[in-house]
Structure 1
Amino acid sequence: MDPKWEDDLQGEAERNLWAALRGRSLEYVEIGPNDPSAGASWGPDRAIRASFIKAIALGEATYSPSILRVRGARITGELDFEASRAVCPLDFDGCYFDEAINFEQFEASAIYLTRCNIPAGIKGSQLHTHHNFYLDGSSFSAEVCLKSARIDGQLGLEGAHLRQGSSLVAGAITVGQGAYFSGMRAEGRIHFGGAQITAKFDMRGAQLAGSASGEALYAPRIQVHGNLLLERNFTAEGTVDLTNATISGDLKCSGGHFKKGSIGETMERCLDLARVEVGQHIYLSDGFSATGTVYLADAVIGGTLNCEGGTFDNPADTAIYAPGIKVGRDVMLTKSTAAPALDQSGFMARGKVVLSGAQINAKLDFSGGRFLSSGEREESLLGRGMRVGSLIFDNNFLCQGLVDIRRTTIEGELRGISAVDPRKIKIAGMAYRSTGDTDDAEAQIAWLVQVTYSSQIYRQLASVYAAEGDEGAAKSVLIAGRESRRRSRKKPRRYKRYTELPLKWFVNYGYSPFRVLIWLGFFELIGGVIFIALSDDMTLAPLYKGSSVSAEGSSMSSWHPEFQPWIYTADLLLPVVDLQQNRFWIPTHAAEWLSAAFIIIGWTLATALVVGLGSVFRSDNRKDDWGPNR
């Protein structure tokens, strides 16, 4: 150290520090009580000039300390280390700094500024520490800038307080080990865009009040080679932006609270995970709450998306927006399996949940989930075109609005869908391999006929029963589908509700063709009895009057068959068969009208048989609508 320092020591604090330096005893130079909240009022006896500290840290002293430790001092003037290199680690505890600390392009072994009060903030662009950089418990009233800094050890701001008007700017920072912010309070923006964290990023219990721009944590393209923890009462009053982030471990937000706007207002994204890539799991569960939209569009998750017990509030708009999400394992929008039966703390979304185009390799589970909306005709759950391993509902599933899962492909089972109100669900084009339900075919059909009609939904269920070898159940489903189609006819084809009734009565829409024989037998019996009673009303055709009833030795014009009521009835009922009764005998009076009726009945039966069998044949050949079993 320049000899002038020894002759120019000012105050007790500097003399104590000089004495400790000479004696090589720097196990904390304690200047006074280390509560720096009132540091601005500390007198000269606790003051150390920043230039004096700098001279020691840069090795300009006669004696080079192994570490520079100061506790409870007031550092006056600007501590300017720009573009320099310290010869020892710096450790300040409970100190007050009158002016900003300049660490720009500064290189040090390690820096510890714990429980300090630094109102003017820190300038630390391109700072490089070979080990740790700790600001634990310190408070700031201006910007803390660590842009493009390189911390080879750990970065710590646990319990730090960024007062109103301050911010933490650490864009493109590189941290060789973990970054720890547990219990931090910030009333300004936290910026970690493009940061690279080699281990975990821990913000458990942090309180982020947000900034005027509406952002609480801005960290797009952050890379975390470990877990990112925003849990245990983590609170953000503004957007948490993790778009395009890469996280090799878990993203844990269980018990975290995310808020952007107030209920009743137009709310924006409170948690933005668009295009995020997570190697393991995402937890938005067990007390997680979001006021605003949780945005997961095109996110890629290697493990499970767990929302058990999470609350998502955005009643005027969308609560969860996750179109195109890709999940390697399960998506759980459920009540926790450990919760009591009457517990109402399970998954709840007030607002639309959008999963359209999602790809989920394992199960998508809605068991016990509650999907609430402002109106019964508004969509609460939109999942068109999803591809999932299995889809599960249960009796505790509640949805106030509509459920739209049209064109969804389920590689495995569809379980418990009958728990959904059939008047509120759209499933046209949905394909699955099994139902996994204990309900019999009658119960399944009773639910299905209340769903908005689509021929495919009946063919799909029938294909499942057929694949299981239950042809009877498959047939019952197809018949129910045709009946539902008939009943669903609307203008201008409403007349078909009635014209298709013969198909139902006579051949069961073509699925029971032999039923027409029963009807033929019935009408044959009725007709035979009627025409026996009305045999007096039957007259021989004029061409054959005077001819013999015996064909022996007679020409065709001199012979006619005897009237046979049973054969005559059959001749009327069989349009393409000539039994030589209807040609020779002409009905009169009441028999004339009844004969006409039996001819109509015969043609109706024949038409029903042909049309019914034709429609069944066409349905069997429409394989593209049958689903994965066909």
Structure 2
Amino acid sequence: MDIADLTPAERRVWEAFPLGEGVDFREGADDDPAAGASWGPERTVRAEVLRALLLGGPVRDDGIAGLKLWGARITGRLDLKYGTVEHSIRLRSCHFEGAPDLYGARIVALVLNDSVLPGLTAGNLRSEGVVRITCCRIRGPVRLAGAKISSGFFANGARLGSPDETPEEPVLQLNHAEVSTDVWAVGLTVHGQVRMNGATVGGQVNIENAVLSAPGGTALHAETLVVGTDLNARGIHARGRVNLSGARIPRHLSLTRSRLSNPDELALRISSCVIGELWLQEAARIEGTVNFRRAQVDLLHVPPEVWPEHVRIDGLSYRVLAPHRSAEQRLPLLERETEGYLPYSYEQLTAAYRTLGDDAAARTVQLAKLRRHRRTLPRYARLWGYVQDAAVGYGFRPMRAGGWLLLLLCTGTLAFALHHPPALKPSEAPGFNPLFYTLDLLLPIIDFGQESAFAPHGWYQWLSYLLIATGWVLATTIAAGITRSLNRQ
């Protein structure tokens, strides 16, 4: 391009490029690039001039060439498709009339901080350095699918999409992208879908305090996302589905103080994920269904009040459950499983309580499991279940058997005190004692010589049979309970 064809503003940029010097067209600190369409020729630069500089502009031996521009109105479309740019691109606080096209380009670095753009196409981009759209306002889609960024991707405070439009494609596309270090997007606002499925991030993904709005749709689509360390989504507000199915997050997935809302639909899906620690501390109650099927979590930190009305937790495994709450507070969650009774969920909760050393809570969960199972049985089997539950709590309430023994002891003592059974051999029989006679009937391993000396008749004989049978069952239950207690100690 002939320098004689350049405007004064463009000439400033052309002359600064070989030295890597910046050109600042801003008129003040409060200069808003959203009003850039009204900027005059004194701060207007054609996209074709920038293209000519980046692909074959002048260079000097005593300088490091680079494009550094502030507060410019860039007309036309910056087309670097499949181009190789050996200089950094820094276009801050600029107003773009057309969406830059860097599809398949190879660049050193791309910085568009605080700029206003109609969109950005950079699929399959290869960047040796950072890609920054910090605090940008981009109305159309940001396409970075398949990009390979050797450093980090930054979108802090960026506002993508428009609340007045329903986008036809994801607003932020990072699917199958490879980012060597971090994805940093604190305070990001997106009206539409963020797509990161199949992406690989060497460090962490930080979307703290982000607002993702796709009501009735998918706000965050990150299936099979692979993260090197953490996914920090503290304080996130998602209207729409958050889908992390199959993700691999070795350290923390933090949804602390988050608000997830997709009423009557799936709000959070982490099925088949492998996660070090999952935190939902201080989060609002989730509006919608959650799907944790087959997820593997080492530490699951979810207060009971965060869970929604409907959950899918078949196959969810965790080693530690926090914060520590009573079994009575945790059990209602298992009743909300959409698939009905799932024995594994009760076994998993039991194991978590045993890991914490709370054996009483573990027994409460096992008792609840048997009661829930009882509802699935035929009527005759349920009746026997009610008897076992009332008598000894299915064996998990052995001391309840002691109460029944005491009641039966009092009943037998009173009955036989009112009606002494006749002696089998009156000349050899000891004096009759209704208390010890009843104990002889109830306790199978104790013999006071009363049972073998007296033989009741009529309904008293049937009472003695009842005392013998129930005594065996209840005494065995107490012995088993004491044995389990000693083994735990």
Distance 1:463 1:266 in 2: 46
- 1:131 corresponds in structure 2 to 59
Residue type at the aligned position of 1:128: G
C-alpha deviation, 1:504, in angstroms: 3.8
Instruction: After TM superposition, list the pairs within 5 Å mapping 1:124-523 onto structure 2.
Output: 127-129=55-57, 131=59, 153-155=65-67, 161=73, 166-198=76-108, 200-209=109-118, 216-232=119-135, 234-259=136-161, 262=164, 265=166, 268-286=169-187, 288-335=188-235, 347-375=236-264, 378-411=265-298, 413-421=299-307, 423-435=309-321, 437=323, 439=324, 443-453=325-335, 454-468=342-356, 470=357, 473-487=358-372, 489-493=374-378, 498-511=383-396, 513=398, 516-517=401-402, 519-523=404-408
Q: What SS class does the counterpart of residue 269 from structure 1 fall into?
A: coil
C-alpha deviation, 1:117, in angstroms: 6.6
1:77-132 deviation per Cα after TM superposition (whole angstroms, max 9, x unaligned): xxxxxxxxxxxxxx74699xxxxxxxxxxxx9899999567699999699534639
Residue type at the aligned position of 1:227: V
Q: Tell me, yes or no, if the aligned pair for 1:507 and 1:516 is still in contact at 8 Å.
A: yes
Q: 1:94 to 1:205 in 2, by over 3 A?
A: closer
- 1:51 corresponds in structure 2 to none
Q: Tell me, yes or no, if the aligned pair for 1:568 and 1:581 is still in contact at 8 Å.
A: yes
Q: Which runs of 5+ in 2 are unaligned?
A: 24-40, 336-341
Q: Which runs of 5+ in 1 are unaligned?
A: 1-53, 58-67, 74-90, 96-107, 133-151, 210-215, 336-346, 541-546, 552-559, 621-630
C-alpha deviation, 1:317, in angstroms: 0.9
Q: 1:605 to 1:268 in 2, by over 3 A?
A: farther
Distance 1:201 1:71 in 2: 24
Distance 2:228 2:272 in 1: 17
1:176-197 deviation per Cα after TM superposition (whole angstroms, max 9, x unaligned): 2311232343444432122111
Instruction: After TM superposition, list the pairs within 5 Å mapping 1:97-136 onto structure 2.
Output: 127-129=55-57, 131=59
Q: What SS class does the counterpart of residue 217 from structure 2 fall into?
A: strand
Residue type at the aligned position of 1:268: E
Q: What SS class does the counterpart of residue 413 from structure 2 fall into?
A: helix
C-alpha deviation, 1:430, in angstroms: 3.6
Distance 1:322 1:256 in 2: 19
Q: TM-score, normalising length from structure 2?
A: 0.76
Q: CA RMSD in A?
A: 4.4
Q: What SS class does the counterpart of residue 366 from structure 2 fall into?
A: helix
Aligned length: 454
Q: 1:223 to 1:402 in 2, by over 3 A?
A: same
Q: 1:261 to 1:421 in 2, by over 3 A?
A: closer
Distance 1:356 1:321 in 2: 9
- 1:533 corresponds in structure 2 to 418
C-alpha deviation, 1:530, in angstroms: 1.4
The structure showing larger relative contact order (alpha-carbon pairs under 8 Å, at least 6 residues apart) is 2
Distance 1:498 1:94 in 2: 89
Residue type at the aligned position of 1:217: L
Residue type at the aligned position of 1:476: A
Q: 1:576 to 1:196 in 2, by over 3 A?
A: same
Q: What SS class does the counterpart of residue 333 from structure 2 fall into?
A: coil
The yes-or-no answer on 1:601 pairing with 2:487 is no
Q: What SS class does the counterpart of residue 449 from structure 1 fall into?
A: helix
Q: Which has the larger radius of gyration?
A: 1
Q: Tell me, yes or no, if the aligned pair for 1:309 and 1:334 is still in contact at 8 Å.
A: yes
The yes-or-no answer on 1:585 pairing with 2:455 is yes
Residue type at the aligned position of 2:328: A
Distance 1:492 1:458 in 2: 18
Q: 1:432 to 1:119 in 2, by over 3 A?
A: closer
Q: Tell me, yes or no, if the aligned pair for 1:370 and 1:397 is still in contact at 8 Å.
A: yes
C-alpha deviation, 1:332, in angstroms: 1.8
Q: 1:120 to 1:330 in 2, by over 3 A?
A: closer
- 1:148 corresponds in structure 2 to none
C-alpha deviation, 1:239, in angstroms: 1.8
Q: Tell me, yes or no, if the aligned pair for 1:408 and 1:431 is still in contact at 8 Å.
A: yes
Q: 1:394 to 1:94 in 2, by over 3 A?
A: closer
Q: What SS class does the counterpart of residue 253 from structure 2 fall into?
A: strand
C-alpha deviation, 1:480, in angstroms: 3.3
Distance 2:143 2:377 in 1: 53
Q: Tell me, yes or no, if the aligned pair for 1:92 and 1:114 is still in contact at 8 Å.
A: no
Distance 1:387 1:235 in 2: 35
Q: Tell me, yes or no, if the aligned pair for 2:173 and 2:195 is still in contact at 8 Å.
A: yes
Distance 1:258 1:332 in 2: 20
Distance 1:123 1:281 in 2: 29
Q: What SS class does the counterpart of residue 531 from structure 1 fall into?
A: helix
Q: 1:184 to 1:516 in 2, by over 3 A?
A: same
Q: 1:257 to 1:457 in 2, by over 3 A?
A: same
Q: What SS class does the counterpart of residue 314 from structure 1 fall into?
A: strand
Distance 2:47 2:198 in 1: 42
Q: 1:467 to 1:394 in 2, by over 3 A?
A: closer
Distance 2:44 2:308 in 1: 63
1:382-439 deviation per Cα after TM superposition (whole angstroms, max 9, x unaligned): 112322222222234342223333433233x4335234146455545444444453x5
Q: 1:612 to 1:192 in 2, by over 3 A?
A: farther
Q: 1:116 to 1:110 in 2, by over 3 A?
A: farther
Q: Tell me, yes or no, if the aligned pair for 2:346 and 2:369 is still in contact at 8 Å.
A: no
Q: 1:300 to 1:605 in 2, by over 3 A?
A: same
- 2:35 corresponds in structure 1 to none
Q: 1:491 to 1:414 in 2, by over 3 A?
A: closer
Distance 2:51 2:399 in 1: 91
C-alpha deviation, 1:368, in angstroms: 1.1
Distance 2:318 2:111 in 1: 42
Distance 1:305 1:392 in 2: 15
Distance 2:343 2:281 in 1: 25
Residue type at the aligned position of 2:177: V
Q: 1:598 to 1:548 in 2, by over 3 A?
A: closer
